[in-house]
Amino acid sequence: MSALELSLMLRVQVFCYTRAMRGLGISLIAVVACALAVNAQQPAASIDLPEGARTLLHAKGDGVQIYSCTDSAAGAKWTLKGPDAKLLDDSGKAIGTHFAGPTWKLNDGGQVQGELLGNKPSPEAGSIPWLLLRAKAGTATGSLAAVSFIRRTETHGGAAPGTGCQTSQDAGKTVQVPYAATYTFYTEK
């Protein structure tokens, strides 16, 4: 093999090698970018109301969030059982209750249950998140029959404790954590 042939062969091999490596590198970068995109934390759904929603009722919730210690393969953890709170008007008068479901029931018999649409962390540490819920189909009755959305904001407290539920021996324990929040009920039109 002549020196010219050898030189040409080396150039072809280097060209093919560097081109293949470049392609492999680009492919590797694409795979990593896709993996990062798939595993990236999705932003929480917004608690913004749809355009045109109007306030029907504004109430303060004052009570407790009830947690039960549950044991699973992942370990013991606090699980929300539900709230137990009074609903208060602007003057502080009790106008209803809020309990598991989640359900809101007024003293006049009006009632509605909600389904989660979105949430946002509370700006206050140790407080439950702010929520936007849609009225569950067929559950809005009486004075709350026109409710389409419920939003929980201005939360204070209510988050699950960081201790007391570490092992399977803690399973079955319950704890009530005081909280307060603002609940606003909206109609779509």
| Residue 112 contacts residue 144 (beta carbons within 8 Å) | yes
pLDDT at 41: 39
Query: Mean pLDDT over all residues of the chain?
Result: 85
The stretch 100-116 carries a mean pLDDT of 97
Distance CA 107, CA 157 (A): 25
- For the stretch 47-97, pLDDT in tens is 999 899 999 999 999 999 999 999 988 899 999 999 999 999 999 999 999
Shortest CA distance to 112 belongs to which of 126, 97, 122?
97
- pLDDT at 154 exceeding the cut of 90: yes
The stretch 108-132 carries a mean pLDDT of 97
What share of the chain in percent tops pLDDT 70?
A: 77
pLDDT at 38: 36
- pLDDT at 124 exceeding the cut of 90: yes
Its pTM stands at: 0.75
The domain locations on the chain are 1-40, 54-187
- pLDDT at 147 exceeding the cut of 60: yes
More confident residue, 124 or 10: 124
pLDDT at 132: 98
- pLDDT at 7 exceeding the cut of 70: no
Shortest CA distance to 112 belongs to which of 137, 81, 87?
137
Sequence-separated (6 or more) residues with CB below 8 Å from residue 183: 58, 59, 60, 61, 87, 98, 104, 150, 151, 152
- For the stretch 160-189, pLDDT in tens is 999 999 998 999 999 999 999 999 999 997
